[in-house]
Structure 1
């Protein structure tokens, strides 16, 4: 960041124009932070159970939390530009601080505890988080001449979730609104920095890089949405996938244990085949919708508590 003065192309801003640009930018950052808080709350409600939180990649949320922490530090340095801009940059920094410290860190802890239900070593969590945070700051300072490349690497925050979905065959770990909303809000600041002409930071616009960044993040979001609606492993050849249990398998009606679904306590109509019926490996019968909603909470049979394979 620079104070108001002429740049290499001779373009200069008056103090009033410069202040207006900074205020408009900080208002945009504050509004984006507010939207991200709403999206995080929506996602936390979507994965409110222990099993739901375990399906979310901790690397994905952690990478976004570290990005917001860096943005908080960046806006804190902005308060040194001019005394009249202190409130504007302080507001932007505070909004990012709220996102990181109250919501993203809380969600990180929930995911950490969901994946380690018997472990209470929070010191390990905090040491790793702050170690990566400080190490990343040193790397950014050392390689600050490659800022665009660093932005591209940090914009791959959806990749850990895509890989997690494939490995665990996770079923709808992220809410679609969260995927779309975070994708758009994460693009706003870098597109302003490298795409807005005559921005107050005096960084020369690079439209080609902005297009590459948009396509890169958008492509990740499209893959996540396809995994959400069509299955986590839709682009993996079936020949190399492990055999998966079929809950709609054929069954011998003489071997069924009960005619009632113990989830909703309504009789199961088996006369129309298996379209509205799912059979667990332990030969217990449930309505398809009932068992799918149950498995979104926990992977165990509602009747005998046996562990169930992913649907």
Structure 2
């Protein structure tokens, strides 16, 4: 019973089964105790025993159904999780308009409604219904159902609203991927080019992707980290071209290493090799325009003007070309 009670903490449906099983077991225990302590005839004791054994049998049956429910939970789908989030969102929206809670609790409900909406948008953009994410969907489903169950019986009191707000906050934490799931590396995915983003989901259908803003792609492709390090390399080399070329090579390796992780998906996967190559070429052109590889026959001024023009055109046009190619 103790193990079953612990398992019931993961969802309202399981909690109901466990509560019924515990109630039956408690009644059977009390009935057997009374039968042994009372002055009953043998026939009455046999009848009491049959009644309470039946209760224990039904309690065990409920625990068995709990095990079945636990086995089915990993099959929770993206659509079920999204529907649960939507249902909780609608419940919060109803509370913001319910005169029994206004104006006393309006700020609380409105703040939760806004936070849940933002979390829902991020959840829809980051997840696509892959089977490997079933545990994430199950956690979101359970937390949202727990919060909704508390909300259904909610009364306009400080303690009750505070308990409900805590349940909603736990649901938001689960939706944001911070409730018992492994933390994602903070760098991974931050520099990956997005072909689109999904802001809302209804009925399990993802909307048509909207292209990533041009300036976002531009910032991700141009290696600002290398541009920051290059003046340091110039100062260290002190005019020695061999040392300067070695330092440029180290900076290039740093770009590749940083963006190898930064261009992976948040949940892992392959790096975006094309985006990495574009960033490396952008830096090499930038360094060349400042004389990092020497000068053209026309001298420093011609080198700077020609390569600066090529660099500007490259940096400006490549994000546009990649966006069109991946749309």
Q: Same fold (TM over 0.5)?
A: no
Which structure is higher in helix share?
2
Q: Which structure ranks higher in relative contact order (CA pairs < 8 Å, sequence separation ≥ 6)?
A: 1
TM-score, with length taken from structure 2 = 0.25
TM-score, with length taken from structure 1 = 0.26
Rg (Cα) greater in structure:
2
